[in-house]
Amino acid sequence: MKTLALNSSPRTGIQSKTELMLDHLVTGMKEAGAEVEVVNLRKKKINSCMGCFTCWTKTPGKCIHEDDMTNELYPKWLEADIAIYATPLYHYTMNATMKAFIERTLPVVEPFLREREGNTYHPLRQKHPKLCFLSVAGFPEPQVFNQLSAWVNFVYGQYGIVVGEIYRPLAEVLDLPFFREKVDDIFSATEQAGKEIVQAGKISPETMARITQPIVDDKKEFYEMGNKMWEACIEKGLTPKEFMEQLEG
């Protein structure tokens, strides 16, 4: 099973919780036999869709831009059985880098107008890869992902291609030692999710419950810790990354 894992986080290493979660998902998928390529979109040149519809008219299926999307990513994406869209939650939705990528997949549909269950849609020109969305958020409530999930299901549910939605709230604590036991279980469940996607084409409710499990019992505990960190950053004039580096010596 060919998998293209796209990571749109601008951050890297343990600072990026998108990357942390994606690493575990990919590990599980590889263990189950998938062939996975991870692409960091921050390193790629992806121009904005210009809305010219050249890809629908003059060169059907081919975008007018000459950039990494046209020359490298789009052909790989078309060949993939599954694409993972891994994005940090920004303003309660995917970030702009991921949105730019998705908008550039317009050539995969034809311009024609059809109707299904009262909704207008464009028919697919080519096979669309199955999709697994992965997102992480700073806030602790699972409902911060409601808008993203509604969007995912509205846009892609109609094509029946969504094989997973992995949403992890309170993700900024995933690299802290205080919650090791729960975090290890979240990571191992994320690996399990990867295996299930490859083996069963879906993620079981038990695995999802482990991925989204609460990390702190009382939100105030998290507010206190977070607010102390921000106060210290402001006082010392440090970004969170610089602050953590200073703490670690």
- Is residue 99 at the binding interface for ligand FMN, with CB under 6 A as the rule? no
Spell out the residues 6+ positions from residue 179 whose beta carbon is closer than 8 angstroms to its own: 173, 215, 216
* Interface characters, 167-196, with ligand FMN (x: CB under 6 A): ----xx------------------------
Is residue 220 close enough to count as binding ligand FMN by CB under 6 A? no
Q: Which of 43, 91, 180, 220 binds ligand FMN (CB under 6 A)?
A: 91
To ligand FMN, the closest distance from the beta carbon of 240 in angstroms equals 9
Rounded CA-CA distance 61/221 in Å is 52
Per-residue mark of binding to ligand FMN, 48-87 (x: CB under 6 A): ----------------------------------------
CA 112, CA 219: separation in Å to the nearest integer? Answer: 49
Judged by CB under 6 A, the stretch of 34-42, 50-58, 136-144, 195-203 that binds ligand FMN is 136-144
Q: Whole-number minimum distance, CB 101 to ligand FMN, in Å?
A: 16
Q: Among the candidate windows 17-25, 63-71, 148-156, 191-199, which touches ligand FMN by CB under 6 A?
A: 17-25
Closest CA to 140 of 167, 100, 112: 167
CB of 142 to ligand FMN, least distance (A): 10
Residue 142 in tokens: 């699972």
Residue 196 CA: distances (Å) to CA of 34, 88, 185: 11, 23, 16
Distance CA 26, CA 42 (A): 19
Q: Closest approach of Cβ 180 to ligand FMN, in Å?
A: 18
Contact 21, 54 (CB under 8 A): no
**Interface region with ligand FMN, contact rule CB under 6 A, candidates 9-17, 33-41, 45-53, 103-111:** 9-17
Helix (H, G, I), strand (E, B) or coil at 82: strand
Tell me the closest approach of the beta carbon of residue 138 to ligand FMN, in angstroms: 3
Q: Helices in the chain by DSSP H: which ranges?
A: 17-31, 68, 74-79, 96-103, 146-156, 180-200, 205-211, 219-236, 240-248
Binding residues with ligand FMN: total (CB under 6 A): 18
Is residue 43 within the footprint of ligand FMN (CB under 6 A)?
no
Could you give the 3-state DSSP secondary structure of residue 166? strand
Residues that bind ligand FMN (CB under 6 A): 9, 11, 16-19, 88-92, 136-139, 144, 171-172
